[in-house]
Amino acid sequence: MGRYTGPVCRLCRQVGDKLFLKGDRCFTPRCAVERRRTPPGNNRNTRRRRMSDHGLQLREKQKARYVYGIMERQFRRYMSEAFSKPGVTGQYLLQLLERRLDNVVFRLGFTESRRQARQLVLHGHFQVNRRKTDIPSFEVHAGDMISWKESNKEKEFFKELTEGIPRRPVPNWLRLDTSEMTGAVLNLPDEQDVLTSIDSRLIVEYYSR
């Protein structure tokens, strides 16, 4: 099965929680979850059933996949790496997901959503340590610098995306230089820096069956 390309608001309604996949729209009354609390489909008059433990674990796993835009096979690889490391498995999993280049671009405020960040990275608009990097899953490390491709700074889309930055808080593990429009990875993210409602404990339980 390929990557999901349909309306992302349906994913939020499916899990019954805001995943902030639409950028600024998710903070307005136009948010689909605010307007319609029911799951997508022809079931407007039905209520959500009480979920089993397995259902709750599956939902958290799907939420993580939807938030970071990852396919199942790739998510399993992240999970296998997290299991192989000492320490708290769930915390290490979220750290791996946060260190993706497309997520870092989004966290720095250069794009409105992770999906937009992924597209811009794929098109080669960003550099890591002054080298062109067009792999969204590229894993950043402490000390790395993320910058726009120099030739982009005269283009209209760059001015539109960077106007008014920062529009949202930048995590403590990152630093944004608004004068140069660059970002730096100060250290690796910890549990307090992951600004999502994902319960990693349930994901670990799902894959530990």
Q: What is the tens place of the pLDDT at every residue in 128-179?
A: 999 999 999 999 999 999 999 999 888 898 988 888 888 888 999 999 999 9
Residue 59, number of CB atoms within 10 A of its CB: 19
- Those residues with Cβ within 8 angstroms of residue 141's Cβ, 6 or more apart along the chain or in another chain: 99, 185, 188
Residue 191's pLDDT band, with cuts at 50, 70 and 90, is: confident
Residue 26 Cα to chain centre, angstroms = 14
- Residue 30 scores a pLDDT above 60: no
Q: Residue 166 has what pLDDT?
A: 86
φ/ψ (deg, to 5) at 202 = -70, -35
How would residue 4 be classed by pLDDT, with cut points 50, 70 and 90?
low
- Note the pLDDT of residue 1: 44
Tokens 């671009």 appear where?
Answer: 105
| Token pair for 113 | 């959503």
| b/e per residue 131-152 (b: at least 16 CB within 10 A) | eebeebbbebeeebbbbbeeeb
DSSP state of 142: T
Nearest to 181 by CA among 209, 205, 155, 161: 161
d(CA 105, CA 95): 15
Helix, strand, coil tally for the chain in percent (to 5) = 45, 10, 45
Which ranges in 69-123 belong to alpha helices (H)? 72-84, 89-98, 101-107, 114-122
Pick the range with the lowest mean pLDDT from 47-61, 97-111, 125-139: 47-61
pLDDT of residue 130: 93
Average pLDDT, the chain: 84
As a whole number, mean pLDDT of residues 29-34 equals: 58
Q: What pLDDT does 123 receive?
A: 94
Q: What pLDDT shows up at residue 122?
A: 95
Query: Which of residues 46 and 105 earns the better pLDDT score?
Result: 105
The pLDDT of residue 175:
96
Show the domains of the chain with their CATH numbers: 9-97+197-207 (1.10.1050.10), 100-188 (3.10.290.10)
